[in-house]
Amino acid sequence: MTTAIVGTGGIGSAIARLLASGGETLRLSSADKDSARKLAADVGHAAVVAADNRDALRGAGAVVLALRFTALKSVIDEIADGLTDKLVVVPSNPVTADAQGNVSRVLPEGQSSGEVVAGWLPAGTRLAMAFGTMSADLLQSSADRSPESAVLFYATDDDHAGQQVERLIRTAGFEPVKIGGVEQSSRLEVGGDLHNLVVGPEQARSLIGRA
Ligand SMILES: NC(=O)c1ccc[n+]([C@@H]2O[C@H](COP(=O)([O-])OP(=O)(O)OC[C@H]3O[C@@H](n4cnc5c(N)ncnc54)[C@H](OP(=O)(O)O)[C@@H]3O)[C@@H](O)[C@H]2O)c1
């Protein structure tokens, strides 16, 4: 199956490599065309570079918006009419960093990224907040863990989106575990209690119930 990845920086590249290893075909686009081309060359025949963000969606059943939170709304507006029949996966954390590397939240405390992104998407879009729950390095090193797969948590309001994102999570070499609806996504974000954890399914389920 084919997934579009818009944004080929740190997390977009890691997700692309894992999905391609699991057999997914990819269409890549990025503001930085060189990074998309380099990634496609690394990934091999499984990935093609699209002409632009809209072109990336052609023939894809899902799109991963691997963008900084502050870039998400303008890209969603740009490609909105291509999103309605697709799964939209958002790994973005609502944070920004200054020149010294100090990280701060761009949303008010108590407001989750999932709620905000859901409000930006066209009606009928299937949203899952996923793949942004651990650093790119940890994501790559935790894939295909044996004997027990590591969990990737996700949040969605939509059962069909849940089935689709579970397939992508398994393709990437993880066991999917749903934490709840998109309003719960702050638990997955930087600073959330489920962020940057590498756990198996049993521990994951007990952690979900703890909040
Ligand atoms: N990196 C991680 O370890 C990690 C882990 C979990 C979650 N996240 C979250 O994932 C999000 C992305 O993080 P990142 O580290 O991958 O950031 P990044 O390295 O800056 O990558 C973002 C990518 O998006 C591209 N981009 C920007 N505007 C675009 C547009 N209009 N159309 C298409 N592509 C565009 C950028 O291209 P240019 O460079 O040319 O601007 C860049 O390739 C953030 O919200 C972050 O919190 C990151």
Q: Is the pLDDT of residue 89 over 80?
A: yes
- Specify the ligand 1 atom closest to the Cα of 133: 6
Report the pLDDT averaged over residues 95-106: 92
Per residue in 14-68, pLDDT (tens digit) is 999 999 999 999 999 999 999 999 999 999 999 999 999 999 999 999 999 999 9
Question: Domain ranges in the chain?
Answer: 2-210
**pLDDT value of residue 124:** 85
Per residue in 152-172, pLDDT (tens digit) is 999 999 999 999 999 999 999
How far is the first Cα of the chain from the last one, in angstroms, to the nearest whole number?
36
Count Cβ atoms below 10 Å from residue 128 Cβ, excluding itself.
29
Rounded to 5°, angle at Cα 12 from 20 and 34: 95
Query: Amino acid letter at 120?
Result: W
Q: How confident is the model at residue 139 (pLDDT cuts 50, 70, 90)?
A: very high
| CA trace torsion 51, 137, 19, 196 (10° rounding) | -110
Show the tokens assigned to 157. Answer: 């309001």
Cα of 65 from ligand 1 centre, angstroms: 9
The verdict on the CB of residue 32 being under 6 Å from ligand 1 is: yes
Within 8 A by CB and 6+ apart from 105, the residues are 94, 95, 191
Q: How confident is the model at residue 210 (pLDDT cuts 50, 70, 90)?
A: confident
Residue 4, strand partner residues: 27, 63
Within 8 A by CB and 6+ apart from 85, the residues are none
**pLDDT value of residue 110:** 86
- Specify the ligand 1 atom closest to the Cα of 8: 43
Q: Is the pLDDT of residue 211 over 90?
A: no
State in words which class domain 2-210 has. Answer: alpha beta
Q: What is the pTM of this model?
A: 0.97
**pLDDT value of residue 209:** 85
Pocket-testing residue among 29, 67, 107, ligand 1, by greatest number of atoms within 8 A of Cβ: 67
Tell me what the pLDDT averaged over the chain comes to. 96
Q: Is the pLDDT of residue 205 over 90?
A: yes
Q: In what order do the strands lie in the sheet with 151-156?
A: 47-49, 25-29, 2-6, 62-65, 87-90, 126-130, 151-156, 175-180
Report the pLDDT averaged over residues 123-145: 96
**pLDDT value of residue 162:** 98
Report the pLDDT averaged over residues 76-81: 97
With beta carbons less than 8 A apart as the criterion, state whether 92 and 132 touch: yes
- Specify the ligand 1 atom closest to the Cα of 74: 31
- Specify the ligand 1 atom closest to the Cα of 7: 24
Pocket-testing residue among 11, 33, 90, 133, ligand 1, by greatest number of atoms within 8 A of Cβ: 11
Q: How confident is the model at residue 144 (pLDDT cuts 50, 70, 90)?
A: very high
Question: Which protein residue's CA is at the shortest distance from atom 47 of ligand 1?
Answer: 93
